[in-house]
Chains A and B, each alone.
Chain A
Amino acid sequence: MLNISNINSFYGEVQVLKDVSLHVDQGEIVTLIGANAAGKSTLISCISRTVKSFTGEIQFEGKTISNLRPDQIVDLGLVQIPEGRLLFPKLTVRENLELGSYNKNSRGNRKERLEYVYELLPRLKERSNQLAGSLSGGESQMCAIGRGLMANPKLLMFDEPSLGLAPIVVSEVMKLIRNIAKDGMTVLLVEQNVRQSLKLADRAYVLENGRIIMEGKGRDLLESPEVKKAYLGI
């Protein structure tokens, strides 16, 4: 469904991504793990085209998308839930959610999407008239996920959804991602929380210093001595 081949990206003189290739098939949960500054977020931003300085090819459903604008990427159903939520703090929760369905695919069925999201995340319904800036960390993340779902995505990319959340909320978010995937969503999850995300993943890639150094089934990587040593401290 999503095919990334030989991506190289530079931030000034520094090469952030080195020849990165990966693919996500329909219906999969694929996780990309790695430490801080490994280049995970840069890769997601390349896919969404909010980072433009990269070489290599990105294909979505067989179509090259590495020359499109960010809004055109969203129109295709390739939607990112960004790191740090990036909610619109001075808009209400409801306005935030509604803007999630700005793209051509979901504009027509905004009402149904909103009902679906409210059903999935009833807390957002309670808070719908509150400013997004006043939400707690966990609620903000739920709102960001809800906003992503409003877009009627075919593939949903999560950039560090567990960042800055209490462990119990992290589990809640992971459970939510699992449920969304069960409903048929294809998921690309970028995480630093290695244990939780590998448990969730069908397949996983390990990114280190801008290079993919390992890939495999989520469970297998969880058992691998290298991952255990480098990321789980065992």
Chain B
Amino acid sequence: MEQILQVFISGIFSGGVYALVSVGLALIFGIIGLVNFAHGEYLMLAMYFAYWMYNIIGLDPYQSLLINLAVMAIIGYLTYKIIMERVLEADHSIQIILTLALSMVLQNLALMLWKADYRNIRIDMTTDTTHIGFLTLSTPRVVAFVIAIGASVLLYMFLQKTYTGAAMRAVAQNGKAAQLMGINLKRTYGLAFTIGITLVGLAGLLLSPIYPAFPLVGSNFSTLAFIVVVIGGLTSIPGAIMGGLLIGVVESFAGYFAGPAYQQAAYFLLFILVLIFKPNGLFGRS
């Protein structure tokens, strides 16, 4: 029983980061209607940045948190301004091909510039454990979980409770009407994209003490984020949070009972079942 609980809690804790990766994706899709296939690549960039900050300047990922977020926000904004803003009114297929291409370009640039080597950040905390009752948890995972869920909930509160948040929801519900309120659509889209990228950057940073950086690291997480977002109902932030936690738990149990090789298979199976029986997502409204 204790072991089952340990497996469950481990799953919840990995799920926190999945949730954070996914809320950014859900936000960008929900507000702009843009499917960002390059989402994971921004996670990769943030992981490399955390690695350099540690190796070159000597700041561990937690010390470089604010700089990393600022850099990701700038990268996100520039991506929006230079690339995404041009395809806002284009066909979905064009947007999809564009973000797919962007993902390939970023992956291959990383491969060319930084090689395929795995880059690990070895700080003392990497191997630290935290004990809660009989549970034993890796400290970086606990920190990652707390910050990830905190940031996701903050995003949700921002959307629900602030005026700017209401304006963003208005844009998502009816862009034309939002314009008639005097809301600048492009600026709002830019804000949504920047926030989404900053959040996935934060996820990358939180992963960096646990997970190596390499050029293709993003694709693991973006596939996962797409599954989470579909399970969560595509545009719903609470849905993405719950979906992230659920996938974490499923992955953890599959790893425990069937072996690590079956982890991916397990959440893909869940994904297929959700698509068959609840195509609007477990947490989405029909």
Contact = CB atoms under 8 A, between A and B. Distances in A.
Contact of A95 (B166, B179, B185): B166
Interface in A26-81: 48, 50, 69-71, 74-75, 79-80
Interface stretch (A85-93, A186-194, A223-231): A85-93
Nearest to A79: B180
A82 B167 contact: no
A86 B166 contact: no
Indicate the size class of the contact surface on chain B: 10 to 19
Contacts of B184: 69, 71
B92 interface: no
Interface string A96-111: 0011101110000000
A203 interface: no
Contacts of A80: 180
B177 A86 contact: yes
Interface in A99-126: 99-100, 102-104
Interface string B144-177: 0000000000000000000100110110011011
Contacts of A211: none
B contacts with A: majority SS: helix
Most buried by A among B179, B183, B185: B179
B182 interface: yes
Contact of B180 (A75, A86, A89, A104): A86
B1 interface: no
A86 B167 contact: no
B173 A91 contact: yes
Interface residues of A, number: 25
B181 interface: yes
B171 to A, nearest CB: 9
A75 B182 contact: yes
A87 B182 contact: no
A151 B166 CA distance: 16
A98 B163 contact: yes
Interface in B96-111: none
B174 A88 contact: yes
A71 B166 contact: no
Nearest to A95: B166
B182 A86 contact: no
A80 B182 CA distance: 10
Nearest to B163: A98
Interface in B209-267: none
Contact of A151 (B169, B176, B179, B182): B182
Contacts of B173: 88-91
Contact of A103 (B169, B170, B174, B182): B182
A141 to B, nearest CB: 14
Contacts of A100: 181
Contacts of A98: 163, 166
Contacts of B167: 99, 102
Contact of A102 (B169, B176, B183): B183
B177 A88 contact: yes
B58 to A, nearest CB: 46
A71 to B, nearest CB: 5
A89 B177 CA distance: 11
Nearest to A89: B173
Contacts of B180: 48, 50, 70, 74, 79-80, 82, 86
B203 to A, nearest CB: 27
A74 B169 CA distance: 19
Interface of A: 48, 50, 69-71, 74-75, 79-80, 82, 86-91, 95, 98-100, 102-104, 147, 151
Given A71-B179, A87-B177, A88-B169, 15 more contacts: A48-B180, A69-B184, A70-B179, A70-B182, A71-B183, A74-B182, A80-B180, A82-B180, A86-B176, A88-B177, A89-B173, A95-B170, A98-B166, A99-B167, A103-B181
Going nearest first, the 6 A-B pairs with the smallest beta carbon separation are: A103-B182, A74-B182, A86-B177, A70-B179, A71-B184, A88-B173
10 contacts: A48-B179, A71-B179, A86-B174, A86-B180, A88-B174, A88-B177, A89-B173, A90-B169, A99-B170, A99-B181
